Copies of this chain bind each other. A is one copy, B any other.
Amino acid sequence: MPAPSLDDLADRLGEAQLLTDPDLLQGYRQDWAKAPNPGMPLAVVRARSTENVQEVMRWASAHGVPVVPRGAGSGLSGGATAVEGGIVLSTEQMRHIDVDPVTRTATVQPGLYNAEVKAAVAEHGLWYPPDPSSYEICSIGGNIATNAGGLCCVKYGVTTDYVLGMTVVLADGTAVRLGGARLKDSAGLSLTKLFVGSEGTLGIVTEIIVRLIPEQPPRSTVVGIFPDVVACSEAVLAITSRTRPAMLEFMDNTSIRAVEADLRMGLDTTAGAMLLAQSDLTGSDRAVETEFMAEAFRAHGASEVFATDDPDEGEQFTVARRAAFTSLGKVGSLLLEDVGVPLPALPQLVAGIEEISARRDVPIALVAHAGDGNTHPIIVLEDDDEDRAARAQLAFGEVMELAIGMGGTITGEHGVGRLKAPWLPAQLGDDVMDLSRRIKSALDPQGILNPGVML
């Protein structure tokens, strides 16, 4: 079948850019995850408005052409991987934001970076909590697509907890407005929440209304150095069963060494593992919480505990934690995991990952949003070592199977995308897969929205 003509679409796009230059298309074929075998798209559309997106979907549904929505391209599961002969719909130029301090909401277009949303609302003394480590380079639209998390979630929840409404363009080009600037709304089905985390498979989100909270006070930080990862993860349970820190992050020796080699921050490269906790309570409550956490660190074998009330000093450790992906990326190519388990299973998960790493003889670095049981085992590859790459692929699947066996999830915050789609049925089961496909078919009967992702 010949490719449908783009002229008709180009005429209707107005201010949006339609790219067909093969050199330009090249940069839109994959996201950060570099999922294998991306297609060569027919075109990339850089939309500027909901209307632009509607025109793309009207044209695509008329011609049965697949459409892959794309935010900043920082996705870690291959959720934005071009389909041969399809359209890549980029939201990178949809960058408007309105902040309403009275309703404490912001109306945002999807192309803004998470950090830009945070900055815009901070001018009004407000805070948008979800904070993926990649917050400076990931888009808010992508955050909605994957129901992104971050470091704050242990206390402040995930993206869906902050989404009150949205405009979505459906497969046939219809635009619907869901929810609104209302904290409470029980009118009709909870469609807003259904679209959060749907990874562009049900519709394309073109505007989002997010809930904001007042800026929180500066934080105090407690750092613990542990001889090994299992003792360290037991300290996590001791803390979360008694208090609710504003952050509780984990780094293992491999990730500490990679960050130190990259950034020269003075981290203890002999540490078996490190825990990084923060309190944003106020007054005497803060001292009580930080001392409790320091004591829990010691009681679980921490060889060193360091506490500071200086926010800048605390932020340095957070920077180190966030840098793990990029610093490890300088050691070799990475296969990123995002498995989560109910918190009591955390020590067992951590031990199991060590076992897989040893058995498959591939290095697996570990960082984690430890306080909510969401870990990022990072498998480090070496260029030109094809045998190691094959063993890494086996380990990649085994880590997910390990988490599923513990009642966990294959993805806590990155989404399923293409890379984890083969394991989704093992987690959800046939009945939930069938239920999901029924909803997908009801909303996208032609299957043109991000085919190959998730389902």
Q: A residues near B, CB below 8 A?
A: 100-104, 146-149, 153-154, 157-158, 160-161, 170, 174-178, 180-191, 193-194, 196-198, 201-202, 213-214, 237, 240-241, 243-244, 281-285, 338, 340-344, 369, 372-374, 407-416, 420, 424, 427-429, 431-433, 435-436, 438-443, 454-455
Q: How many copies does the complex hold?
A: 2
Q: Which of B342, B407, B424 contacts A187 (CB 8 A)?
A: B424
Q: Is the CB of A411 within 8 A of B190?
A: no
Nearest CB on B from A58, distance (A) = 14
Q: Which of B161, B369, B413 contacts A161 (CB 8 A)?
A: B161
Q: Is the CB of A409 within 8 A of B147?
A: no
Q: A186-B146, A416-B188 are in contact. Are A180 and B282 (CB under 8 A)?
A: no
Q: Is the CB of B186 within 8 A of A412?
A: yes
Nearest CB on B from A138, distance (A) = 14
Q: Which residue on chain B has the smallest CB distance to residue A281? A: B282
Q: A196-B190, A282-B283 are in contact. Are A340 and B424 (CB under 8 A)?
A: no
Q: Is the CB of A187 within 8 A of B428?
A: yes
Q: Is the CB of B184 within 8 A of A153?
A: yes
Q: When chains A and B are docked, how far (Å) is the Cα of A454 from the Cα of B176?
A: 18
Q: Which of B244, B340, B438 contacts A182 (CB 8 A)?
A: B340
Q: Is the CB of B181 within 8 A of A342?
A: yes
Question: Which residues on B sit within 8 Å (CB–CB) of A157?
Answer: 161, 183
Q: A102-B237, A194-B194, A435-B170 are in contact. Are A186 and B415 (CB under 8 A)?
A: yes
Q: Which of B188, B284, B435 contacts A436 (CB 8 A)?
A: B188
Q: Which of B201, B240, B429 contacts A104 (CB 8 A)?
A: B240
Q: A184-B153, A412-B186 are in contact. Are A214 and B198 (CB under 8 A)?
A: no
Nearest CB on B from A186, distance (A) = 5
Q: When chains A and B are docked, how far (Å) is the Cα of A408 from the Cα of B182?
A: 8
Question: Which residues on B sit within 8 Å (CB–CB) of A188?
Answer: 416, 424, 427-428, 432-433, 436, 454-455
Q: When chains A and B are docked, how far (Å) is the Cα of A160 from the Cα of B211?
A: 14
Q: Is the CB of A429 within 8 A of B176?
A: yes
Q: A182-B373, A442-B442 are in contact. Are A189 and B436 (CB under 8 A)?
A: yes
Q: Is the CB of B241 within 8 A of A102?
A: yes
Q: Is the CB of B187 within 8 A of A410?
A: yes
For this complex, 24 residue pairs linking A to B, each with C-beta atoms less than 8 Å apart, are A101-B241, A102-B241, A103-B344, A149-B184, A149-B186, A160-B190, A170-B435, A176-B429, A176-B435, A180-B409, A184-B373, A184-B409, A185-B340, A189-B197, A189-B198, A189-B202, A189-B439, A190-B194, A190-B196, A193-B194, A214-B244, A283-B285, A439-B439, A439-B442
Nearest CB on B from A438, distance (A) = 4
Q: Is the CB of B413 within 8 A of A184?
A: yes
Nearest CB on B from A345, distance (A) = 9
Extra 16 A-B pairs, beta carbons < 8 Å, given A182-B409, A184-B409, A193-B196: A147-B186, A160-B190, A175-B431, A177-B429, A183-B374, A184-B374, A184-B412, A184-B413, A185-B340, A185-B412, A186-B197, A187-B424, A189-B201, A190-B197, A191-B436, A194-B439
Question: Which residues on B sit within 8 Å (CB–CB) of A198?
Answer: 189-190
Question: Which residues on B sit within 8 Å (CB–CB) of A186?
Answer: 146-149, 197, 338, 409, 411-416
| Chain B CB within 10 Å, residue with most, of A146, A285, A433, A440 | A285
Question: Which residues on B sit within 8 Å (CB–CB) of A442?
Answer: 438-439, 441-442
Q: When chains A and B are docked, how far (Å) is the Cα of A72 from the Cα of B344?
A: 34
Q: When chains A and B are docked, how far (Å) is the Cα of A335 from the Cα of B232?
A: 57
Q: When chains A and B are docked, how far (Å) is the Cα of A158 from the Cα of B163?
A: 13
Q: When chains A and B are docked, how far (Å) is the Cα of A187 from the Cα of B149?
A: 13
Q: A429-B176, A443-B435 are in contact. Are A194 and B184 (CB under 8 A)?
A: no
Question: Which residues on B sit within 8 Å (CB–CB) of A443?
Answer: 435, 438-439
Question: Which residues on B sit within 8 Å (CB–CB) of A440?
Answer: 189
6 nearest A-B pairs in the assembled complex, by CB-CB distance: A283-B283, A193-B193, A184-B412, A442-B442, A183-B372, A438-B442
